[in-house]
Amino acid sequence: LLLDRSVLTVAGTAIAQLPNLDGSDGRLLFALFFDFIRFRNPVTPSDIQRAFRSSARSTPVALAPDLQGDTLEQIDVLHKQKRFQEIYSLIQPLSGGPFNIDVAWRYARVLYELAEETADKSERERLVRSGLAKAEEALVQCPDNGLAHKWVGIMLGAVGQFLPTKEKVANAFRIKDTLERAATLRPEDASVKIALGEWAYKVADISWVERNAAKVLFGAPPEASYRDALELFERAYELDATKKAAIKAGLTCQQLKQTADATRWMQQALATPGTGDADAELDQIAKRALAS
């Protein structure tokens, strides 16, 4: 009797979170899956984990390459649906196994997405610092990987809100370098354009204190304008018409006093399909902007 790939994915997801199996463990695992095969009862990773809870230890178990590939495919589907907690439950066990670049950058990504959704400042800081550590590991292991550069740049930007001025300014130069390298390696990646646009927007909006600190520490502050940011957000929307790109373009048009364009972008954001809490919040931003 053949096992389909969804069954194997369930098994792999569960086993990744469990210790090495002894003989009795193996018999119990077989019994669970025999029940699934015979009666098509839904067996989930948590069902299997409960069966082994009493003998669980901390040693991570690596998935076979085909099972890991199935799990990553499932993660990418869930990401399009913005089901970030489910993604975390799948990828967190993989992150403790042997280094894999495809696991590492996805792990950094989901930590960033979870941080964006939480209102708890201390939890947000924990998530972005953990995500940055994983992205930095990916970059060390794969220095020519565009996704590693991308997520180092994004996570450095995210952690900035928790840093003193000196570190934040120092990071601004590195953020630009890593994101520009990512853009070279991944020219059609809309999210890299958005990240570069966000960097330009923040630099254009830099405070007097930060600007003068940069002059003292580095000889000159980082340079970018709202016009630079707008061009990047517009290019991102051309590549992938998302609410986020539209909102960012609209907010930048407001800074440039381009009222008609700002209104058009906010209306476009509301007309763009979205899913999840993050997109719902973007809709609220657009509605508030149009009402003001």
**CB distance 183 to 192 below 8 Å:** yes
**Residues 227, 22: Cα–Cα separation, whole Å:** 63
Tokens, residue 27: 């018999």
- Cα–Cα–Cα angle for 238, 243, 247, nearest 5°? 90
- Cα–Cα–Cα angle for 222, 228, 232, nearest 5°? 115
**Residues 192, 162: Cα–Cα separation, whole Å:** 22
Per-residue pLDDT, 58: 34
Residue 235 is given by DSSP the state H
**Residues 259, 250: Cα–Cα separation, whole Å:** 9
DSSP H or E segment with residue 237: helix 226-239
Overall size of the chain counted in residues: 292
Q: How far apart are the first and last CA of the chain?
A: 64
Per-residue pLDDT, 46: 52
User: In the chain, where does DSSP find H-type helix?
Assistant: 5-15, 23-39, 45-52, 65-80, 84-95, 101-117, 121-141, 146-159, 165-185, 190-204, 208-218, 226-239, 243-255, 259-271, 276-291
157 closest CA partner among 190, 114, 201: 201
Per-residue pLDDT, 215: 78
Per-residue pLDDT, 51: 42
Per-residue pLDDT, 149: 97
Per-residue pLDDT, 217: 73
Per-residue pLDDT, 40: 41
pLDDT along the chain (292 residues), means of 10: 44 49 44 42 48 38 59 91 92 90 96 93 96 96 97 95 86 94 97 96 86 77 93 97 96 97 97 86 94 90
